[in-house]
Amino acid sequence: MTDHALHVNLNRITNGGIIQHAILVRLIVGGSVEIATQVTAKHLDFIDDVDLRLALTQRLNELDRVFLVNAHYSTVFVAIGALEGIFKHVAARYKSEIEALKSYPKDHKGKKKKDFERLTIDDLYVLLRDLDIVPGIDEYPSLYKLFRGYRNCIHAQAQVRKGWEIDIGQAQMALGLLNATLRNLDRNVFVGKHVFEKIAGAPYYDSSRVLQLRVGESPHNSFVLLKEPITRAFSARFDADLSPKSLLNFVFDYVDEGNFQMLRLDRRPNSRYPNAVLRSTQKFVWSEVLLATPRKPPNKEMLPVEIEIDFDKQVFSLVVDGDPYTFSDLSGKQKNLFSRVHKGKRVGFFNEVAPVMLSNVVLDKLA
């Protein structure tokens, strides 16, 4: 006789969001039962600090255990403490931008700005929201403020003064707020101070400052888009690590997954597809509209790439390994690449077939 495993997925909706319980119940010969449960989301790719990511992962794993044994105080304190650490890490990246915001709070006397180090979790949510790093949800500021108060109940005297009870309801809400925040932040890929949105796959920017476009289940594999549209000028310089099996696409004029254009660099040696400009007219369907010269990238894995879009100068250029690319239509007539790009649309990257790594990434954008 063999062991039997029963997987049970439960969603509990709380005022703070959805807590996902992934429970494995293993019925072992002899009648004993082994239970493993996961109640916290483990989406931490947006954190490029390896040590902090490890510390947070340890806390999330501990939350899985303490919630299971009804340790409600520990659940609230660890969950909200983890949220504070996450917000402070993300906010530190944008300290100067945050301090320049009109919504930056005053100190308790209301005469000068609050010290950056003294910003509370609800302060940080509002400021990150105003930078469009987390979504603006009307109920969230009060929720973060409420649970800042619960977090302070780690001191017994503070709890006595407030007269607050911490029970299963508060524990569930704290976990819901943590999970919802992690999922919202994990939609982002932070490349320096630039924010990309994940459209598909599991791309991430690692501690070595390499944008990893990994292989995924979608034909897009890892698809990222700069959150802000291009309105005046944009340039990108990077070294593309392209294996002989891989393709890299620079996306522009993005409207949705079935409506965008892209520049394709195809390194596959036996591929019949040349470097080209392609147009997507429906999801996962695209066709060549301009052909590039040279037809193939150089036969080397690490390729320096430069892309520039400038609406004032009417420039859209692609340079690979020092070689400027030119373009023609399918009949061979020379075309200016700038005629293909339009203001107010988004740009990004996605890979096909195999992983692609972009290192030494330098991005410049003029609003």
| pLDDT tens per residue, range 190-212 | 998 999 999 999 999 988 899 99
Strand order from edge to edge, sheet including 210-213: 204-205, 210-213, 356-366, 233-242, 302-310, 315-320, 323-324
Task: Determine which of 109-113, 152-156, 294-298, 302-306 has the lowest per-residue pLDDT on average.
Answer: 152-156
- The residue among 1, 23, 21 whose CA lies nearest residue 11 is 21
Instruction: Pick from 95-104, 159-168, 266-275 the range whose average pLDDT is largest.
Output: 95-104
Residue 109's SS3 state is coil
- Of residues 236 and 110, which shows the higher confidence score? 236
pLDDT tens for 253-271 read: 999 999 999 999 998 877 7
pLDDT tens for 332-354 read: 999 999 999 999 999 999 999 99
Q: What is the structure's pLDDT at 61?
A: 94
Q: Is residue 45 predicted with pLDDT exceeding 60? A: yes
Structural tokens at position 1: 């006789």
pLDDT more than 70, % of the chain: 89
- Of residues 326 and 244, which shows the higher confidence score? 326
Q: What is the structure's pLDDT at 263?
A: 97
Q: How confident is the model at residue 310 (pLDDT cuts 50, 70, 90)?
A: very high
Q: How confident is the model at residue 367 (pLDDT cuts 50, 70, 90)?
A: confident
> What mean pLDDT is reported for the chain?
87
Q: What is the structure's pLDDT at 32?
A: 53
pTM for the model stands at: 0.84
Q: What is the structure's pLDDT at 13?
A: 35
Task: Determine which of 67-71, 88-92, 214-218, 290-294 has the lowest per-residue pLDDT on average.
Answer: 214-218
Residues paired with residue 320 on neighbouring β-strands, in sequence order: 305, 323
Residue 262's SS3 state is strand
Q: What is the structure's pLDDT at 2?
A: 41
Cβ(264)–Cβ(240) below 8 Å: no
- Of residues 251 and 297, which shows the higher confidence score? 251
Spatial neighbors of 363 by CB under 8 A, at least 6 apart, are 191, 192, 194, 226, 234, 235, 236
Q: What is the structure's pLDDT at 9?
A: 37
Tell me the mean pLDDT in the region 232-243.
95
Q: What is the structure's pLDDT at 158?
A: 67
Query: For the chain, how are helix, strand and coil distributed in percent, rounded to 5?
Result: 30, 35, 35
Q: Is residue 320 predicted with pLDDT exceeding 90? A: yes
Q: How confident is the model at residue 245 (pLDDT cuts 50, 70, 90)?
A: confident
Q: What is the structure's pLDDT at 35?
A: 53
Q: How confident is the model at residue 109 (pLDDT cuts 50, 70, 90)?
A: confident
